Structure formats: structure tokens, C-alpha cells
Amino acid sequence: MTDLTSPPPPAAAASSVQERQWGMAAHLSAFAGFLIPFGSILGPLVVWLVKREEMPFVNDQGKEALNFNILAGIIAVGLLILTVGTFGLGALLTVPIGIALGIVWIVFTIMAAIKANEGVAYRYPINLRLVK
């Protein structure tokens, strides 16, 4: 069962510059979605898989970024299905919601990257905890 309301306890602060930079990369790699399909999920996934064993801070922030981008992807697919399912009529509702989702996604991703670079374990305000 996924938990939408209570975030896990915060991870310990990053101890090295390298850990903070990789934590920031875990969040910023989501912008790969602008370049390749599913890049917003693949970017954080790759960073998390590569560094999770050796850097606890990156393990935490990679999972956080991955979970947030999975949630954003699920919402985007749902909006697409609603639009197609209503033969485009739903676009009156889904386009403004999609634009708002895109803005929120960009803002939260940048905020998370800044916090991770400061060594603070960032928690997205709304997130599915699929990858634990």
C-alpha cells in the first residue's frame, strides 16, 4: 500500500560535496524527460541505481526523485487517457491541469535540487512511496 500523506523520516544530511552533487543530479536528471520519452523517470532511476549502495544520501534523494516523477507520469498519462477517451472534449479540462502539472513539476524539481545541493534531504509535498 502506498502512503500519500506521511513522508518517511528524513535521511541524514549529506556528508560530502560529491554526495550533495549526486543528490542534486538525482533530481535534475528528471529534465531528461525533455529529451527522451520516459526520461523523467529514467534519469533519477539511473542515478539511484548507480550510486545507491555507496552514498546513503543519494539513495534517499534518488528514491524521492524517482517516486515523484513516477507520480507525475501517472497523472500525465491519466490526463492523456481522459482527453482521448472524450474524443478531445476533455482537453478543456486536461490542458489547463496539464500546464499546471508541468509548472509544479519544474518548480518542485528545482527546489529539490537546490536543497539536495545544500545537503538537505528534500521531501516533495505530494509523493507516492512506490520505491522504498
Q: Could you report the per-residue pLDDT of 5-44, keeping only the tens digit for each?
A: 555 555 556 578 999 999 999 999 999 999 998 999 999 9
- Is 109 inside any structural domain? yes
- Is 11 inside any structural domain? no
- Count of domains observed in the chain: 1
- Is 77 inside any structural domain? yes
Predicted pLDDT at 54: 94
Note down the domain range covering 58. Answer: 17-114
Nearest-Å Rg of the Cα atoms of the chain is 15
Q: Could you report the per-residue pLDDT of 66-97, keeping only the tens digit for each?
A: 999 999 999 999 999 999 999 989 999 999 99
Q: Which residues have CB under 8 Å from 30's CB, separation 6+?
A: 39, 40, 41, 43, 44, 65, 68, 69, 105, 109
- Is 125 inside any structural domain? no
Residue 19's nearest CA partner among 66, 68, 65, 60 is 60
- Is 7 inside any structural domain? no
Q: What average pLDDT does range 52-64 have in this prediction? A: 95
Q: Could you report the per-residue pLDDT of 113-123, keeping only the tens digit for each?
A: 999 999 999 99
- Is 6 inside any structural domain? no
Indicate the Cα dihedral angle 44, 130, 72, 28, nearest 10°: -20
Helix (H, G, I), strand (E, B) or coil at 2: coil
C-alpha cell recorded at residue 27: 533530481
- Is 131 inside any structural domain? no
Q: CA-based angle 89:68:53, to the nearest 5?
A: 150
- Is 122 inside any structural domain? no
Residue 127's nearest CA partner among 103, 109, 115 is 109
Q: What is the pTM of this model?
A: 0.85
| CA distances in angstroms from 34 to 19, 28, 30, 43, 91, listed in the order given | 25, 12, 9, 11, 22
Handedness of CA 80, 107, 132, 53 (dihedral sign): positive
- % of the chain beyond a pLDDT of 90: 80
